[in-house]
C-alpha cells in the first residue's frame, strides 16, 4: 500500500475588493509561477504584484475552486455572503 506524502501547497486567499469604482474578487497568492499562469487564463483578470483581480460580475466560486484546487489551498471565507447567488 502506497501512501500519498502530504506536500504543502501555495495559498490563494479570495476577498471582495473595489477598484476604480468596480467590484472585484481580489485573489492574493503566494508568489508561484504555476498559480500566476493558471490565474492568467481567468476572464478579465488584472494583476498587481502578488494579487489578481477578477470582476465580481460573472465570478463563479465553484468553477474557480475546481480550476485551482490542485494548484493551491484556497481560502474563500471572506467571500461568504458577498457574492450574488
- Reduce the secondary structure of 11-46 to three states and give it as a string: EEEEEEEEECCEEEEEEEECCCHHHHHHHCCCCCCE
Q: Please check the confidence at residue 38 and state whether its pLDDT lies above 70.
A: yes
Residues of the chain above pLDDT 90, percent: 71
Least trusted range by pLDDT, from 4-18, 49-63, 65-79: 4-18
Mean pLDDT over the full length of the chain = 89
d(CA 1, CA 15): 40
Q: What is the pLDDT of residue 8?
A: 81
pLDDT band at residue 9 under the 50/70/90 scheme: confident
Give SS3 for 78.
helix
Give SS3 for 54.
strand
pLDDT band at residue 32 under the 50/70/90 scheme: confident
Residue-range domains of the chain with CATH? 11-79 (3.30.780)
Amino acid at each position: 500500500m502506497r501512501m500519498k506524502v502530504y506536500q504543502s501547497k501555495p495559498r490563494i486567499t479570495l476577498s471582495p475588493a473595489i477598484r476604480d469604482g468596480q467590484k472585484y474578487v481580489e485573489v492574493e497568492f503566494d508568489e508561484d509561477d504555476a498559480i500566476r499562469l493558471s490565474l492568467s487564463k481567468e476572464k478579465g483578470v488584472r494583476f498587481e504584484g502578488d494579487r489578481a483581480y477578477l470582476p465580481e460580475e460573472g465570478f463563479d466560486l465553484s468553477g474557480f475552486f475546481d480550476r485551482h484546487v490542485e494548484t493551491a489551498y484556497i481560502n474563500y471565507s471572506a467571500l461568504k455572503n458577498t457574492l450574488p447567488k
